[in-house]
């Protein structure tokens, strides 16, 4: 399938996990890729892999938590590829800790990267996306739908991503732009490998968010992102799609 032939996609969080898998999936489907992350080494590995798959791919260091980086990133993408068709906001961080121990600094950092970063990228990309009647895919989380114990800040940031996505979908639908959210859960990535729980967690609280079936890899999210972002998703707008093996069904 070459659903992204002549299409330009910008993906944040492309150095690892779901972002990398999405880059590889879109590369296989013919996209030109502008790949962003804060991790230089991982980013270069993704760029190399996408080029080996036959795609034009450019790596760009962008900290989505720094407002000053955002417009420069969109400008660099449109300068390199002449425009933008698909924006996939994947970059994110997870901290799990008891709510009474969550500092204002942690709360603000998570909100800034996961929610404000997503908002700023959407905002800066809008002129280019509207010009090409493109679309946005934002990565939310099952924690936006069902309470994640020890994840108040993370869940709040991802709930914000859902609300932001729906607002964009309604506000810009008549101008030909779509915006959708994906809610992964139980996806095996470096993030899930390192998300430490607080000391002495109440495991009974965690039962409800354990995978119903089994964890799967980030390619299972990338394939859904690709469908939604392609012409196959032409009538999908303002939707949030759980990709969690049925855990929250
Ligand atoms: N893995 C899961 O089960 C799961 C579940 C729900 C939601 N998600 C979401 O999916 C997205 C990808 O997560 P993943 O599991 O692939 O984790 P990951 O840690 O493998 O990838 C996250 C990427 O984001 C990048 N990043 C972090 N902060 C950044 C910043 N300030 N600017 C730019 N890039 C930054 C990291 O360097 C990394 O490459 C995240 O938004 C995460 O919240 C993952």
Predicted confidence at residue 99, as pLDDT, reads: 97
Q: What's the angle, vertex CA 247, arms to CA 244 and CA 249, rounded to 5?
A: 100
Active site residue 154: yes
Instruction: For residue 46, tell me if it sits in a domain.
Output: yes
Model confidence at 78, in pLDDT bands (50, 70, 90)? very high
Q: Report pLDDT digits (tens) over 113-133.
A: 999 999 999 999 999 999 999
* CATH number of the domain where residue 104 is located: 3.40.50.720
3-state secondary structure of 178: strand
Mean pLDDT of 224-237: 98
Instruction: For residue 244, tell me if it sits in a domain.
Output: no
Asked if 243 contacts 42 with a C-beta cutoff of 8 angstroms, the reply is: no
2 by Cβ neighbours in 10 Å (0-12 / 13-18 / 19+) ranks as exposed
Instruction: For residue 60, tell me if it sits in a domain.
Output: yes
Predicted confidence at residue 1, as pLDDT, reads: 80
Strands (E), 4-141: 8-12, 32-37, 57-61, 86-89, 135-139
C-alpha to C-alpha distance for 18 and 226, rounded to whole angstroms:
12
Instruction: For residue 82, tell me if it sits in a domain.
Output: yes
Query: Cα dihedral angle (239, 243, 246, 249), rounded to 10 degrees?
Result: -20
Q: Is 12 in the pocket of ligand 1 (CB under 6 A)?
A: yes
All residues at 6 or more sequence positions from 49 whose CB lies less than 8 Å from its CB, including other chains:
20, 23, 24, 27
By most ligand atoms within 8 Å of CB, the mutation choice from 44, 191, 245 for ligand 1 is 191
Active-site residue, from 46, 154, 158, 221: 154
Q: Taking 90 as the threshold, does the pLDDT of residue 157 lie above it? A: yes
Instruction: For residue 171, tell me if it sits in a domain.
Output: yes
| Sheet hosting strand 57-61, strand order edge to edge | 57-61, 32-37, 8-12, 86-89, 135-139, 178-184, 240-243
DSSP, res 230: S
Asked if 89 contacts 137 with a C-beta cutoff of 8 angstroms, the reply is: yes
Instruction: For residue 90, tell me if it sits in a domain.
Output: yes
All residues at 6 or more sequence positions from 166 whose CB lies less than 8 Å from its CB, including other chains:
179, 181, 238, 240
- Comparison of pLDDT for 212 and 154, the residue scoring more: 154
Total domains present in the chain: 1
By most ligand atoms within 8 Å of CB, the mutation choice from 20, 69, 91, 185 for ligand 1 is 91
Domain of 165? Answer: 8-239
Q: Report pLDDT digits (tens) over 23-77.
A: 999 999 999 999 999 999 999 999 999 999 999 999 999 999 999 999 999 999 9
Q: At what angle do helices 117-131 and 152-172 cross, to 10 degrees?
A: 20
Instruction: For residue 153, tell me if it sits in a domain.
Output: yes
pTM tops 0.95: yes
Predicted confidence at residue 126, as pLDDT, reads: 98
Mean pLDDT of 169-173: 98
Q: Is 74 in the pocket of ligand 1 (CB under 6 A)?
A: no
Instruction: For residue 246, tell me if it sits in a domain.
Output: no
């Amino acid at each position: 399938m070459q659903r992204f032939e002549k299409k330009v996609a910008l993906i944040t969080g492309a150095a690892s996990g779901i972002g990398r898998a999405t880059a590889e999936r879109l590369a296989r489907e013919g996209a030109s890729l502008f790949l962003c992350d804060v991790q230089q080494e991982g980013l270069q590995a993704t760029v190399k892999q996408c080029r080996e798959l036959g795609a034009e791919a450019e790596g760009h260091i962008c900290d989505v938590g720094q407002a000053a980086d955002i417009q420069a990133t969109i400008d660099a993408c449109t300068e390199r590829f002449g425009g933008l068709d698909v924006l996939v906001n994947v970059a994110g961080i997870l901290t799990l800790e008891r709510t009474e121990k969550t500092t204002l600094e942690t709360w603000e950092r998570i909100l800034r990267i996961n929610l404000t970063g997503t908002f700023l990228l959407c905002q800066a990309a809008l002129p280019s996306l509207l010009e090409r009647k493109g679309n946005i895919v934002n990565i939310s989380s099952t924690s936006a739908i069902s309470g994640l114990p020890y994840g108040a800040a993370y869940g709040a940031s991802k709930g914000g991503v859902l609300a932001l996505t729906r607002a964009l979908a309604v506000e810009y639908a008549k101008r030909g732009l779509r915006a959708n959210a994906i809610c992964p859960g139980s996806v095996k990535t470096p993030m899930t490998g390192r998300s430490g729980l607080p000391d002495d967690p109440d495991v009974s609280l965690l039962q409800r968010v354990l995978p119903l079936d089994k964890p799967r890899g980030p390619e299972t999210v990338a394939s859904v992102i690709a469908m939604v972002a392609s012409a196959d998703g032409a009538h999908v707008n303002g939707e949030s799609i759980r990709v969690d093996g049925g855990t929250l069904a």
